[in-house]
Structure 1
Amino acid sequence: MLVDSHCHLDFPDLAEDLDEVVARAHRAGIGHMVTICTHVTRFERVLATARRFDTVDCTVGIHPHEAGTEPETSAETLVAMADDPKVIGFGETGLDFFYEHSPRAAQERSFREHIRAARVADLPVVVHTREADDDTVRILQDEARAGAFPGLIHCFSSGLDLAEKALELGFMISISGIVTFKKAEALRETVRAVPLDRLLVETDAPYLAPVPKRGKRNEPAFTALTAAVVAEVKGVTPDELATATTDNFYRLFTKARRPAAAAAAE
């Protein structure tokens, strides 16, 4: 079994045939999916999507792109929204200085509130970082001094330095379809260096479809294509990679429960 640790099943790109999207994922061996919240104002839609399927959970949070337009949301509010059994983490949050759709100060303020929620609830924070590695590390290290919190860097596309600093904080590293791209050798080198027990896999669907589906709509079933490349890079079998990344997922997302069929198979 594989877990797609990060997708957006509530997005319109997937909503029109969502039942079949989830069914295709199951047929491809994807036993669990996490649909990620990007707008706190759309959280109820995200939660409703998770509730439709036994094999789907969700997060609650505000994407850094939306930090300047979504309501300022406190850690206490995020924790209260995560009370539902289907909500297993916070985010995605973080910093994006590539597009700068939101002011940097708003992004940092929102990021810190998500981290504080993760610390209070002991649930992972899902971190997005683009062209902001130094500030991401600064905030993570600063917040860690106030107390540990679980988390991961999602859709990892940075260098080894960020990976090492995240690992020092106890974070996991989630790998998307970018690892399959021809020009992504630097990322593959980083994947080689990250311990197997700290890796997750994801799609970020409907974005970033892996080779040979690149350019098409991404969906959770394609997690298997990314996982195959990660297994090759790590020098392990696909089954070993699946077992490791799935175990890592449930070790990090402690509120998530293995689907009944997968648990029975074990």
Structure 2
Amino acid sequence: MHDFHCHLDLMADPKAEYETRGAYRVTTVAVTTTPRAWQQNLAWSKGNPWTRPALGLHPELVGQAQDEVGLMLDLMPQARLIGEIGLDGSPHLADAFEAQRRVFREVLHRAGSLGGRVLSIHSRRAAGQVLDEIRACPSRGGFLPVLHWFSGTASELGRAIAAGCWFSVNGSMLKGARASSLMAAVPLDALLIESDAPFRGGKGDLRATVNRLAEMLGKDTADLEAITDGNASRLLGNFDIPA
């Protein structure tokens, strides 16, 4: 299986988590919340074909990590996977929202200019603004946006699909009255599975997520797992871990 959005470095024993992903045969995109954390994740992943560290600056931390923005942009030529990045419109982050927007815009432009980047994007309470920034980016042809834990409206989902976004889905997204209709609208060839561990579930929840999603969509579980794993392979197959 695969886990397209997981915070391995925030778990109790990150090094062990990196090492056991192969034992569980889970190909993992290990997102980071600050660029300073990326290089340690890179070291943990070395020689491990099951893990792919992503370079990130989480929107919740932008207000207190302005000194890391330059480092983020400087490291981006070394990282083909970028995440976790994006915007967070939660009320307690309102004072930093414009700073988030500026940083997100800079990261998008840099990713697009470099080309060949896959982005894992946070959009809590800000799906519309995230899509505005993606569509306005003059170099957007150089990156592929994956919306992590999308929680926007049906209209915003339509905009995201039209903008070429992919979607990484965890078990928490499959709860509530809207979940079935939203998931039914997501193209199968743009669908990925994630855990968002340790904030949500762990490795064991990945299969439960596939099972629940297959039930929602009226699909055979094995067929859906093959589709989503194939999607992940398409995105990650050509992504070597930087030396």
Aligned partner of 1:73 among 70, 76, 86: 70
User: Following TM superposition, by how much is the alpha carbon of 1:242 offset from its aligned partner in structure 2, in angstroms?
Assistant: 1.1
Q: How far apart, in 2, do the equivalents of 1:224 and 1:196 lie?
A: 17
Aligned partner of 1:197 among 189, 203, 220: 189
CA contact (8 A) 2:134 2:140 kept: no
Q: How far apart, in 1, do the equivalents of 2:192 and 2:81 lie?
A: 15
Higher-helix-fraction structure? 2
Unmatched segments (≥5 aa) in structure 2: none
Note the alpha carbon deviations across 1:160-191, whole angstroms, 9 max, x for none: 2222111111110111111343xx23122200
TM-score by length of 2: 0.86
CA contact (8 A) 2:55 2:72 kept: no
The correspondence of residues 83-94 of structure 1 with structure 2, limited to 5 A, is 88-94=80-86
Aligned partner of 1:112 among 105, 108, 133: 105
Note the alpha carbon deviations across 1:212-235, whole angstroms, 9 max, x for none: xxxxxxx22321111111111111
Query: What secondary structure sits across from 1:150 in the alignment?
Result: strand
Q: How far apart, in 2, do the equivalents of 1:8 and 1:110 lie?
A: 21
Unmatched segments (≥5 aa) in structure 1: 83-87, 210-218, 258-266
Aligned partner of 1:59 among 40, 54, 61: 54
CA contact (8 A) 1:97 1:130 kept: yes
CA contact (8 A) 1:114 1:125 kept: no
CA contact (8 A) 1:79 1:121 kept: no
Query: What secondary structure sits across from 1:60 in the alignment?
Result: coil
242-251 or 10-19: which moved more? 10-19
Q: How far apart, in 2, do the equivalents of 1:52 and 1:146 lie?
A: 32
Query: What secondary structure sits across from 1:206 in the alignment?
Result: coil
User: Following TM superposition, by how much is the alpha carbon of 1:17 offset from its aligned partner in structure 2, in angstroms?
Assistant: 4.9
Q: How far apart, in 1, do the equivalents of 2:154 and 2:164 lie?
A: 15
User: Following TM superposition, by how much is the alpha carbon of 1:52 offset from its aligned partner in structure 2, in angstroms?
Assistant: 6.0
5-14 or 194-203: which moved more? 5-14
| Greater relative contact order, per chain length (Cα 8 Å cut-off, separation 6+) | 1
Identity of aligned residues (%): 26
Match in the other structure for 2:199: 207
Match in the other structure for 1:235: 218
Q: How far apart, in 1, do the equivalents of 2:224 and 2:47 lie?
A: 28
CA contact (8 A) 2:73 2:107 kept: no
User: Following TM superposition, by how much is the alpha carbon of 1:101 offset from its aligned partner in structure 2, in angstroms?
Assistant: 7.6
- Considering only aligned residues, what root-mean-square deviation do their CA atoms show, in Å? 2.3
User: Following TM superposition, by how much is the alpha carbon of 1:238 offset from its aligned partner in structure 2, in angstroms?
Assistant: 1.3
